[in-house]
Amino acid sequence: MRADHVVNEMKKDAPKEPVFNAPWPAVGLSGLILALYALQSHFDTRDVVPYAFGLNPTLLFSQGSYDTLVTSMFLHGSWTHAGFNAFVALVAASALVRAFGTNGRSVALFFIYYLLGGVLTGLIYCLLFPQQNILIIGASGAISTILGAAIRIGKGRLSGTESRWVAGVTIFWIVMNGFYVAAAMQQGDIAVVWQLHIIGFLIGLFSIGVWMRLFRPQFFRAPDVN
């Protein structure tokens, strides 16, 4: 099969909306990530907050610190960490918000999906690696979830998990994630857990269909406007 044919097929499945024409909830989420880290880095010069509110698999079940599944999402280890997450959040959230809508109920459903994705990602990681005595902070699990979901969003339909577009973005995400992890580890970030990113991505990839049919069935009746 010719390479240009594969590229053309991927483009046909790709979202047509421009990424930087971002709806306000996507901009708000990205801005919130940066604003919270600005406050964290300014006021918490001794890194007390991450150790108090970060996620530790060994403590989650032994001490019942289940609140850290949520609080850890609002903390980051560096500007590189926060900036990368803010950028991916802007791109992924833009596609999802357009599919969900921007009225009050739709925005609430988007943020609930975002938070549930982060919590479920963290919980699954801790179940798989309960003896990992490490500190995990960042919104990477939630953002990976909405990214996995966003790449399936089309005009009134969801791209199949076997489509060239979805497969291409999945490969790109894995490769880019590898480069990011290597760079973050060199800078001494508190914890970069690549498994968390993959878990979240897969959750989004396979859960968005059920979520949309339960809470946004009208999405599938949207006209296909070229």
- pTM greater than the 0.85 cutoff: no
For residue 225, is it within any domain?
no
Q: Which domain holds residue 157?
A: 3-215
pLDDT exceeds 70 at position 142? yes
State the CATH number of the domain containing residue 25. Answer: 1.20.1540.10
pLDDT winner (highest mean) among 14-18, 155-159, 166-170, 191-195: 166-170
Indicate whether 226 belongs to any domain: no
User: Does the residue 190 lie in any domain?
Assistant: yes
pLDDT band at residue 144 using 50, 70 and 90 as cut-offs: very high
Domain-embedded: residue 201: yes
Residue 114 — pLDDT band, cuts 50, 70, 90? Answer: very high
Does residue 110 fall inside a structural domain? Answer: yes
Query: Is pLDDT at 118 greater than 60 in this prediction?
Result: yes
* Residue 17 in this model has a pLDDT that exceeds 90: no
pLDDT beyond 80 at 146: yes
For the residues 39-54, what does the mean pLDDT come to?
Answer: 91
In a domain, 222, yes or no: no
Contacts of 206 (CB under 8 A, 6+ apart): 148, 161
| pLDDT given at position 46 | 84
> Which pLDDT belongs to residue 221?
65
184 occurs within a structural domain: yes
Is residue 224 a part of any domain in this protein? no
The pLDDT tens digits for 160-212 are 887 888 989 889 888 877 776 676 666 654 445 788 998 999 999 999 999 99
pLDDT at 99 over 70: yes
Instruction: Give the whole-number percent of the chain exceeding pLDDT 70.
Output: 83
Q: Give pLDDT, residue 76.
A: 95
Q: How many domains does the chain have?
A: 1
Average pLDDT over all residues of the chain: 85
